[in-house]
Amino acid sequence: MPLHPFFQMMMESFAAAGRPALSDGTPEQSRALVAAGRAALGPGAEVGSINDLSIPTRSGAIPARLVLPKTAPIGLVVYLHGGGWVIGELDDYEVLARHLATLSGCAVLLPDYRLAPEHKFPAGLEDCEDALLFAAEKASELCSANVPLVVAGDSAGANLGTVAARRLRGRVDLALQALLYPVTDCDVDRPSYLAHGEGLPLTRKDMLWFFDHYARRVQHGHSDISPLRAPDLSGLPPALIVTAEYDVLRDEGKAYADRLAEAGVPVTHRCAAGLPHGFARLHNHVAAVDAEIRTVAAAIAAACNRARA
């Protein structure tokens, strides 16, 4: 179907205003560009509480934010934010975290993992692994009950989540991995890259910029950066993978879902029709986006309820 009118108008307004692409500036400039749009996301849902805390990691403590729903949590979601391993702050994702907590009935933990290029691969990945280990150990303290654990994330955060889940296979019990338009490969010549590589929120040029900031080019095909290339995906947690029709990452997300299914992992794949990369944080503005987030939240709640049964 055609690109949703909201996003069509958004891209036209960006072009008219001369808004630079994420990859046109330095990482600091791109972070400032994303932060400047934070207020436009709209209000966050009313929740039980929001607490800042620290997560110990092998390289020192990192900040985190815990969003608790109004009711007793039925699960704990470790949500890893997107931003190409380069961009993203806790404040950029609190509105989405509030929405997920409210809809799913779960607590949502947002780790502020280290970003590239200041901290190259595997620094951010190690932080995310350690955040999952922390959540698994402290779930009963964070949620006042022993609840199931879910890893979720979008884009590069979804990449970090599924790679961390594989690296922690057998050590951390996850009820679900909920992956929104994940980065799963470094091949930038797939059909979706060629079809949607320009004029949309995420371009082919942006992805090359993100990859080069995150790791040396010789590392891009490593399975801890391109999880589609991992030789063994068996034994991973059940997965929900949501791709976007107008996204350079669409094809690799579908390919990853297929690989998981071939490895015997229960997987559900949805392609969000008419939506581009990065849609999740705009749930306050677009009914179709809100519907996708509600589907993700329902899948998280269902997985937690199954694990609790």
Please give the positions annotated as active site. Answer: 155, 247, 277
Residues near 114 by beta carbon (within 8 Å), at least 6 away in sequence: 59, 62, 123, 124, 127
CA distance 186 to 272: 22
- How many other C-beta atoms are found inside a 10 Å radius of the C-beta of residue 266? 13
How many angstroms separate the CA atoms of 163 and 128, rounded?
9
Q: Are 280 and 158 in contact (CB under 8 A)?
A: no
76 within 8 A of 139, measured Cβ to Cβ: yes
- Separation CA 143–CA 6 (nearest Å): 37
- Residue 279 has a CB neighbour count (10 Å cut-off) of 27
Radius of gyration, CA atoms only, the chain: 18
Give me the long-range contacts of 255-258 (CB less than 8 A, separation at least 24): 255/184, 255/185, 255/228, 256/162, 256/182, 256/184, 256/185, 256/227, 256/228
The rounded distance, in Å, linking the Cα atoms of 246 and 278 is 10
As a whole number of angstroms, the distance between CA 20 and CA 167 comes to: 37
What's the rounded Cα separation, in Å, for the pair 305 and 309? Answer: 6
Closest CA relative to residue 179, chosen from 80, 92, 55: 80
CA quadruple 275, 98, 129, 212: dihedral positive or negative?
A: positive
